[in-house]
Amino acid sequence: MKRIRIDEKVLGDDLRHLARFTLPGEVKGAVSRLPWTPEDRAAVEWLRGRMEELGLVPSLDPLGNLWGVWDVDASESLVLGSHRDSVPQGGAFDGALGVMAALAVIRALRKAGHRPRHNLEVVAWNDEEGARFGTTLFGSRMYVGALTPEVVVNMRDTAGVRLADAVQAAGYDLQRMRPSATLARIAAYLELHIEQGPVLEREHQEIGIVTGVGGIIQERITLHGTRVHAAYSGGDRHDPVLAAARVLHRLAVVEADRNRMRPRAVLGVTVGRVELSSALVNVVPESVSFTVDSRAPDPRDALAALESLHEELAAVSTSGGLSMKTAPLNDHTTLAGAGVRTEPIRFNADLGAVIRHVSHDLGYRAIDLPSWAGHDAMALGPRVPTAMIFVPSVRGLSHTPSEFTSDLDAGRGANVLLHTLLALDAAP
């Protein structure tokens, strides 16, 4: 029997088309599709049409998640998807691949005349990145009931717009946002995604079977000193910038050592934003704030890294006459699903075994690896059997216009998604 295959050219064209729905005037190749915006609304309308062409019944739920359902009147559904939002000036693959590949799977099944035994559902989750309001995994966490409107109602974006107002302007009602009853019929959730790291490419692998998602802790650290003129010389300046630089340099040394020793099981600490209380050439700023993002396959390692950073900062602050403050940036208990101080999310091992078998059967080189980034699958994982498939992103780049995955690699991932779905659909 001839094996059903994904049309990778159509999948690639779909990805390029979806990338057109972006904030106008962005740099070439950049995708900025933030939640509750006209760009997102336009993307939804296009996706809805694409779903209809494939005979799916589209519907936008009260949380802003777009669903396309192939209802065969079964009691259980198999769900494929990912998110449709991007970060500002992100790329065309993060999230988008999982959505368009899900539609490519349906296309292949229709073409082959397959009659599924389960209902098949495609989902394009809303606001996974949390790039606008800090509401990471908004659509999927709301869907499973891990996030409630009360928590997010007063959050503001950088322009000062309240989430409640943005939601209303986009035609939604925060009061109607509640967990969905359709969760109960999901027999499995499968998400294809780009790796967002260099492991697959570096190891010449084509498919990643994602074992789980590590813990992520984010916080803002502020060092307070004394604002003085550059003319104030001598050893008794309380300079927060130099103190922060000293600690971050130390952090860089520790990270480099660790990566040398364990290149695959690394622990990542990232300083992504640094802000000074003043921006004058001839003034020592009164304070410096910086964000720290600490992540590891085992969240206890992420926490330990952050705690050792705190110790170094406290020592430098004391000796430099500075004060230090820390504030959490994410909700540690819900972002990591089961809580950052507990075990990380592990995806369903039986589904992982199916993906492994399917990958080998298709002749693809595949390895197991953990995810370093958060995904909607994290929200689903504790509630329904969940698995993720990674394909390489060139040079491990993501969240940048340079993000790139070839049609061939995207097609391989979609073929694995397709045949995993078929295996699950065939099982009683």
Shorter beta-carbon distance to Zn ion: residue 126 or 222: 126
Shorter beta-carbon distance to Zn ion: residue 31 or 78: 31
- Provide the minimum distance between the beta carbon of 372 and Zn ion in the complex, in angstroms, as a whole number: 12
Name the residue with tokens 């909700």: 331
Shorter beta-carbon distance to Zn ion: residue 276 or 373: 373
Shorter beta-carbon distance to Zn ion: residue 94 or 409: 94
Closest CA to 410 of 103, 42, 59, 1: 103
- Provide the minimum distance between the beta carbon of 137 and Zn ion in the complex, in angstroms, as a whole number: 10
Q: Alpha-carbon distance 410 to 403, whole Å? A: 13
Cβ atoms 18, 82 nearer than 8 A: no
Longest CA–CA separation in the chain, Å: 82
Shorter beta-carbon distance to Zn ion: residue 166 or 192: 192
- Provide the minimum distance between the beta carbon of 128 and Zn ion in the complex, in angstroms, as a whole number: 6
- Provide the minimum distance between the beta carbon of 186 and Zn ion in the complex, in angstroms, as a whole number: 20
- Provide the minimum distance between the beta carbon of 235 and Zn ion in the complex, in angstroms, as a whole number: 49
| Rg (the chain; Cα; Å) | 23
Q: Alpha-carbon distance 258 to 235, whole Å? A: 34
- Provide the minimum distance between the beta carbon of 94 and Zn ion in the complex, in angstroms, as a whole number: 4
- Provide the minimum distance between the beta carbon of 365 and Zn ion in the complex, in angstroms, as a whole number: 23
Q: What is the binding site for Zn ion (CB under 5 A)?
A: 94-95
- Provide the minimum distance between the beta carbon of 323 and Zn ion in the complex, in angstroms, as a whole number: 37
- Three-class SS string for 354-387? HHHHHHHHCCCCEEEEEECCCCHHHHHCCCCCEE
Shorter beta-carbon distance to Zn ion: residue 39 or 94: 94
The residue type of 297 is P
CB atoms within 10 A of CB 261: 9
Q: What angle do helix axes 407-426 and 349-361 make, rounded to 10 degrees?
A: 120
Name the residue with tokens 């104030």: 232
Shorter beta-carbon distance to Zn ion: residue 225 or 344: 344
Shorter beta-carbon distance to Zn ion: residue 200 or 221: 200
Cβ atoms 415, 422 nearer than 8 A: no
> Buried b / exposed e across 383-405, counting CB within 10 Å, b at 16+?
bbbbbbbbbbbbebbbbbbebbb
